[in-house]
Structures are given as C-alpha cells and as structure tokens.
Amino acid sequence: MGIFLALNLLVANVLFPPSSPKTISLPYNVFIANLKAGDVTSITSTGNAIQGTFRHPTAASAKSSNKALHFTTQMPTFAGGQLETLLEQHNVTINAQVQSTPALLELLYSFGPTLLFLLIFIWFIRRTASSANGGLFSLGRSQARLYDPERPSATFTDVAGIEEAKAELEEIVDFLRQPAKYERLGGEVPKGVLLVGLPGTGKTLLARAVAGEAGVPFFSISASEFIEMVVGVGASRVRDLFAKAKAAAPAIIFVDELDAIGRSRSVGPSFGGHDEREQTLNQILTEMDGFDSRQGVIVLAATNRADVLDSALLRPGRFDRRVMVLPPDRVGRAAILKIHTRGVPLGDDVDLNNLASQTPGLVGAELRNLVNEAALLAARKGRPAVTMADFTESLEKVLLGAARQIVLSADDRERTAYHESGHALLGLLVPEADPVRRVSIVPRGRALGVTVQSPVDDRQNYPESYLRARIVGALGGRAAEKLIYDVVTTGAESDLQQVTSIARQMVVRWGMSPKIGPLNLSEDPSDQSSMMMSQHSYSEATAQVIDAEVRRIVEECFEKALMLLDENREKLVALTGALLKEESLNEEQILQVTGLAAKPKALPPPIRGIDGRVAAGEPEPAVPSAGAG
C-alpha cells in the first residue's frame, strides 16, 4: 500500500503537476501606473519580489495582447518609501512572506559538510585498508618484505671476492638445511650474525645469498622502517616481525643499516624510556633473548658503523658472530668482474685480471658500476662488444668524473702536458713506484690532467722506500714545471695535499723519522674532545720537530724528483710531445715513447713481522694513485 501511495504521489506531482494561474511580468513603472489607476487589488511581497492581482485582465504594455489577472514585478533597491503610501491610498490588500530556504537545501547546508567529511574518511579507510602495507590500522605491523624461497634472488654463485665472509656463513646455511647435525652434540648456532663492512662490499647481497642457499623464508627490512612518529610503533613492528618469522620457521630475518636504531644509548640526546629508538632497540634485545636458536630463526644484520652500536647488541646470546666483509683483493676483484660481465659481450683484448690489478680498493658495487659504464660507452659508440679501451675510459670516469669540454690555451695545455709527463716519467724511473697505467691531459672533474698508477698486486705492507716513491711521483708535476719554466703554479694543489698527508703519517704514525723515533703520535679519531680542543698528546717542542721532519722528507723527495727529471730531460720532452699529440697514452705507448722498460709483473712477498703475520699499514685509501694537473 505504501509503495502504491508513493507511486501515486510521484505520478500526480511529477508527471502531472498542478497547473498554476496565468501570470505576466510587469516593469516596475507599469506596476506603479496600474496602482495609481486603482487597477491593483492585492499584492504579496517576498523581499524585493512583488506578486499581485488586477481587478481586470491587464496586459504588460499597450502593444501586448497577452492579458492576465496575476502579475509579478521586482522593486528596485533605489525605490523610496512611497510605495506603502500609494497602496494604502488605493485600498490594496498588502501581504508579506518571509523568504525561506527549501527544506532540502536547509538539510544540505546543515549536514552537508559532516556528510562530506564522513564520505572522505570512509574512502580513505577503504583505500588504505586495501594497500599492500595494511593501511591506517596496520601501523604496528612489520613492513618486512618476504622473498620467495622457491625463487631466490641470489645464491653463493653470485657472490665473489669475499670468500672469508662466505665461509663464515656457510655454517648458517648448513644449520638451516640440517639442524639435527648440530643439535645432536648440544651445539647451538648463533642467534645473530652481524655483517660489518664498508658500503658496497656486498653485505646485503651476502644475506640474500644465505637465504637463497638455505631455501627458507627471508624477511628483509631496513632498520629505519621501524621508526614512526607515533611512539611505540617501532616496538610493535619488531614484535610482529619476530612473530611472523617464528610462524614461518626455519626463517631468516635480515635488518639492514642496523645502526639506525642500534646506536649506543649512552651517546647523544635521549628522552628516557619514551624515546622511540630506545624502545625499538629494547624490543629487539628482548626478542633476541626470548627465542631459542633451535626454533630455526636466525637474525642477520648489516652495518657500516659497528663502532657506534650499543654494547648490549654485541654481547653473546644476541649477535654472537661478527663477520667482517672487507674490500676484495686482486683475485677477488677479477672474480667479481667475471660475475658482472656474464651477460656482457667482451672484446678479444679484454683481460679481467689486468683490469682487476688496475682497480685496487674498489668494492663490488663500484666494480659493477664500472662494467655498466663500459657497456654504456661501447653501446654509445656503436661497438659490437666492450673493449679494454672502454673499461679504461670508464675507470677514469668512475675515479675522476666525466670529461669536461673546456678549451685550454696553448700555454696551459703545454704546461699541463709537462706536469703529467713529470708524474708519469718518475713513475717509471723510481724502482719502488707503482706502474704507470695511463696518462691523459683530458680535463676531468677539477683536474686538467691525470696520471693513473696502480700496483700489480695488492699491498698489505708499505716500506719506507715505497712511501718515498709515492711522494717523489706526486711531486713530479711541480718538479717538471720548475725544471722547464722555472716557475711553479697552482696546478699541484692536490699533489701537495697527498704529499703532506703521507709525509706526516710517516713521522707521527709509522715511526719513520730518526729524530722522533719509533713512536706513534697520531691522534685517536674516537677522542672527539681532544680533536675539538686542538689538543695534542705531545709537547710543542715535539710538534716543532714533527714539522721539521715532515718538511725534510718532502724537500729530499723534491730534490730527487728534480734530479731524475733533469737527467732524463729528453724523455720528458718526448713524452710531453706525444701527449700533446694524442692527449691520452696507455702503458705500452708510454714505454714506447720513453724507451724505458716495464716494471716487473710480480711483486716481492710482503715483509712479515717476528710473529709471521703481515704488518698493517695504509698511507691512504687503496685506490689508483692519480696526479692531477
């Protein structure tokens, strides 16, 4: 019955609306004229709008034949108050209506904003609830990414150059595959393994390879993803992550950049127990204490800053084992290059072992970038395969930056050529110096030219003769300018910085000064207070002796550089001429122009201490030495 009545009202009011009386619209002055003529009987005012009734059917104008008893007009805003007097004089019935808003609009104005806010909120909730991270109500859920164990992204065959670290983790893989082998003798596999190494050495790749070899679920998350602006979210995500891993056991949890939340609680500003990072760290410590390694859950973590981690993380029972992921040696770099060039067509002249010997100090990520740059360069030149020249040019780009298209004057170009020829020639003349791989006067980065030297094999020990050879070679550019032009320029700035650093370390760090003796007077980098206050652990008198010894070493090496270049002036001029003509010369071309013999391909064994271990020493980062002009 209700539906029938609703349909009846719809048909009656919408399809067949009630007819309204015929009405005409009058100009206001015509309305006033009819009012004065006594032809208006009544009016109804709604604001400035006036509706009324005539005594007789009337037209809007004399020319119009359209007549009606009802009319409408609009009173101008500038009209005076005479209308009421005229209406009373002619006995016109006056009605008034309040201008009202329709009920539907009233409801819309009253509840519209609230309804709009509710609709937007519901849309936001439904959208975030269907997102991959679980939406607004999943702040406490872990954001860890789960890798499919059936399709591992990496295995140990993809890892090279870090064999020691790989061997340390093989035990972890073996335990996940056959835990009974270790449990039968009461042994326990470490709950946590901390991978420590420089950026790009392959820590994350090594963790993925462990998961790929073990064939178990691999939960990967960055430590910074635990932190939110809402206090308590990080601890909740830690609990959720460990709960998921326990449910999927055996499994691996990998936390990258652990130092983001694992910094020592005794260093830096803290806000007590309400600090979000401290709560997250406390929850990690609790979770690692709360599970048994026999459950098959192992925590891997990676960091570049093991020195800033909280000591509670490193105690036995949490991260029991620390694996150092060191930069690869020459053999390791060759293996890494072999992996990264598996899908790259190589030219017949490419020797990966030779390329590895030219890249000391480069880590896996940098070697991968080197291969990629060489492939892009070869493709840009339209070559069918990547040649050794592409690798050499890409190495210069990686180490020094892209070539700059600047125009040098003839004098600056010649001076730069002599500068770089001085570096290269001394690299050949000094027996202890590293072999010269390439010399170029193509501007790159901030340098107008470059001489690249690198050892045949990696060095683990640096004799004093080698360090002096480095200083002599670095001063070769200034010595060549002094010999040819009898003036010096600003082009040797980077060379002098390198020279000063090596000479000072020889005196204060390695005890290679007879006046200072076998003392280590270098500052401890961890002692921030003394460094900020510019305090030394030695007296002012000792400081003066140190300065004098540094100056003596540098001046002796400079005199040697001048002497060698003066004795081989013809070779210096010939090398400069070839460099001005070709702009870049490789090792074979340099030997051919100078007529000098190549350095021996094998280095003598490193000097060993009394206990048989290789002595440690690093005058500077082990990258190809480059003399910039």
Distance CA 609, CA 460 (A): 12
- Catalytic residue (choose from 168, 287, 420, 481): 420
Least Cα distance to 460 among 601, 362, 607 occurs for 607
Q: 467 to each of 216, 225, 497, 516, how far by Cα in Å?
A: 50, 46, 14, 18
* E strands, 11-101, in order: 23-25, 40-46, 49-59, 67-74, 93-96
Q: Using CA atoms in the order 170, 171, 173, 177, what is the torsion angle rounded to 10 degrees?
A: 130
Token pair in block for residue 398: 């990686």
For the purposes of burial, counting CB atoms within 10 Å of the CB of 496, is it exposed (0-12), middle (13-18) or buried (19 or more)? middle
Q: Which amino acid belongs to residue 142?
A: S
- Is the CA virtual torsion 511, 514, 519, 523 positive or negative? negative
CB neighbours of 602 closer than 8 A, spacing ≥ 6? 456, 457
21-25 contacts at long range (C-beta below 8 A, 24 or more positions apart) = 21/68, 21/69, 21/70, 22/68, 22/69, 22/70, 23/51, 23/68, 23/70, 23/71, 23/72, 24/58, 24/59, 24/60, 24/66, 24/67, 24/68, 24/70, 24/71, 24/72, 25/60, 25/71, 25/72, 25/73
Distance CA 407, CA 548 (A): 41
Task: Kindly give the residue spans of alpha helices, DSSP state H, lying in 346-387.
Answer: 352-357, 364-380
CB 35: neighbour CB atoms within 10 A? 18
Q: 481 to each of 368, 425, 495, 586, 594, how far by Cα in Å?
A: 38, 13, 13, 22, 19
In this structure, the chain runs to a length of: 629
Establish whether 523 is a catalytic residue: no
State how beta strands 40-46 and 93-96 pair.
Answer: parallel
Least Cα distance to 83 among 39, 28, 46, 23 occurs for 28
Residues in a beta bridge with 626: 452
Answer for the pair 250, 179: CB distance below 8 angstroms, yes or no: yes
Quick one: residue 604, left, alpha or beta (phi over 0 = left, psi -120 to 50 = alpha)? Answer: beta
Distance CA 44, CA 51 (A): 5
Give the position of tokens 């001046």: 555
Residues with active-site annotation: 420
